[in-house]
Amino acid sequence: MGRIPKRVWGLSLVVVIYLLIAYGVPKPDAVKPEGWRLFSLFTATVAGLIFQPIAGGALVLIAVVFASVLGGLTIKQALDGYSDPTNWMVLAAFFISRSLINTGLARRIALFFVRSFGQTSLGVSYALCFSDMALATIIPSNGARSGGVILPIVRSVAELYGSKPGATAGVIGAFLMTSVYQGVCITSAMFLTGQASNPLAAQLAAKAANIQIDWFGWFRAGLAPGLVSIFTVPWIVSKIYKPEVTRTPEAAQFARTELSNMGRLGKNEWILTAVFVGVCGGWATSSIHHLDVAVPALFGAIALLVTGVLTWDDVKKEEAAWDMFIWYGGLLNLAKALNATGIPTEFAKAVGGALNGLDWYPLMMIALMVYFFAHYAFASITAHLLAMFPAFVAVIMAAGAPPGLTVFAFAMFANLSAGLTNYGTTPSPMFFAQGYVDMKSWWRVGAVCAGLNIAIWSTVGFAWWKFLGIW
């Protein structure tokens, strides 16, 4: 008998998980039968996203349809997530990011930072981390910006010094691969557009804690702890993976030559720069004009289409954007519907009863540690967020924790935890596959950086959020 295809056994396992929970686990008295079936379907879907028997978007689409059959939703209610403005905001941002990559403006930005700060190996790392940070203001795919723009420059700089996988990896390549990847995880946490599932976290926060998080609100919350991490983490990595080459004038010269070869900004790049600034400005001033965040993003995409910087063929071919649209819109609505069943509240009551007498602060720190290091079991920030964010937030808030502190801590720690492994988020296998670092060393660097980020974000971050009045 031949080997059973992953698609067959994987989907069978998803069905088994659904059946075990729906009919094998006692239902809380306060939850209706259709609500419990919806919870079972949601849990099975998240499990499927972890081991992926089929593409995530296809799995979520199946769950959306079955939610209208098993979960007590009408088909219109099940499909409501696809009309959510946040889903359209992320979709439009993907289209803008495609223009940034196609026109070369994203690469130009990265080369500018390397030219300006790339005189040392640590400076090159900082330059590329800040490049990724600049692009994260509007590119919601950390895979697109770091894998498509940053990683090729990392590899090019390493090879300038003859640093290739194997015996010469330690010259500079191993340091750059690990430090820049850790920077990607930090920038993913700093912006609402830093990672595709961050808007989902904002939506879950609105439902769980009645807290509205817009682009500027997330930006100011992530600014101080993010900058401290960006400056500290590469420096620590340079001590773990001390590069043999510390002075890198050739890197700066490489960037200078590449920029010279690119010539001056063309018409499309100037248009895109104006759109970039306009969209970010629109997001930053949403508290003044009160437009939904989707409106500036959609106006930006329209401007690019009208001026020809972005073509309709580009839009049709942007596979990552449409994939995101399907899974994000579906999960967004399923998560909202699940919250309405009362299951997160019942979970919080049960856990709160088990930990009765423990003050909210130690409870939060214990929960954050469990939540953070649970990412060893996840290959997706989105799956991690969906599986643990709503329940943990409900438990901590039920214990008396400030809502703002709770939702920002768990939303941002989900991104930071992706630095633990070589599979924690989309860019991690891209960087690891370059072959400069073995798995044991990658995980060792990830563990050290994890401890550092936890220390920074739970001290500087908490204090900064207190100063901002978030809690």
Angular region, 342: left φ>0, alpha ψ -120 to 50, beta rest: left
Residue 100: the pLDDT is 83
Structure tokens at 39: 């919870």
**How many C-beta neighbours within 10 Å does residue 224 have?**
19
pLDDT tens sequence for the chain (471 residues): 457 787 888 899 999 999 999 999 888 888 889 989 998 998 898 788 777 888 888 998 999 999 999 888 889 988 988 888 878 887 888 888 888 888 888 888 888 888 988 899 999 999 999 999 998 988 887 877 887 788 888 888 888 888 989 889 999 999 999 999 999 999 999 999 998 889 889 988 888 788 889 899 999 999 999 999 999 999 999 998 889 988 888 888 988 999 999 999 899 999 999 998 888 888 878 778 888 878 988 999 999 999 999 999 999 988 878 887 888 788 778 877 877 787 766 766 666 666 666 789 998 998 899 889 988 877 778 878 887 888 888 888 888 899 999 999 999 999 999 999 887 888 888 888 888 998 889 999 999 999 999 999 999 999 999 999 999
HSE of 182, CA atoms in CB hemisphere, 13 A:
30
Alpha-carbon gap, residue 100 to 93, rounded angstroms: 10
Q: Please, what is the angle between helix 198-209 and helix 403-416, to 10°?
A: 160
Query: What's CA 305's distance to the chain center, in Å?
Result: 27
Residue 374: the pLDDT is 85
Cβ-proximal residues to 414 (8 Å cutoff; 6+ apart), any chain: 189, 197, 201, 371, 375, 381, 384, 385, 389
Q: In this structure, what is the dihedral angle of CA atoms 418, 424, 429, 431, given to the nearest 10 degrees? A: 10
Residue 349: the pLDDT is 66
Tell me if 106 sits within 8 A of 145, measured CB to CB: yes
Alpha helix (H) residue ranges in 170-214: 173-190, 198-209
Q: Where are the beta strands (DSSP E) in 127-286?
A: none
- CB-based burial, 349-361: b 16+ in 10 Å, e otherwise: eebbeeeeeeebe
Q: What is the DSSP letter of 2?
A: P
Residue 351: the pLDDT is 63
What ranges do the domains of the chain cover?
1-78, 103-270+312-471
Residue-wise pLDDT tens digits, 206-224: 887 888 898 999 999 999 9
Residue 120: the pLDDT is 92
**How many C-beta neighbours within 10 Å does residue 292 have?**
14
Residue-wise pLDDT tens digits, 23-36: 998 888 888 899 89
Structure tokens at 213: 């998080």
Residue 16: the pLDDT is 94
Tell me if 343 sits within 8 A of 31, measured CB to CB: yes
Residue 390: the pLDDT is 84
Q: Tell me the torsion sign for CA atoms 400, 402, 404, 407.
A: negative
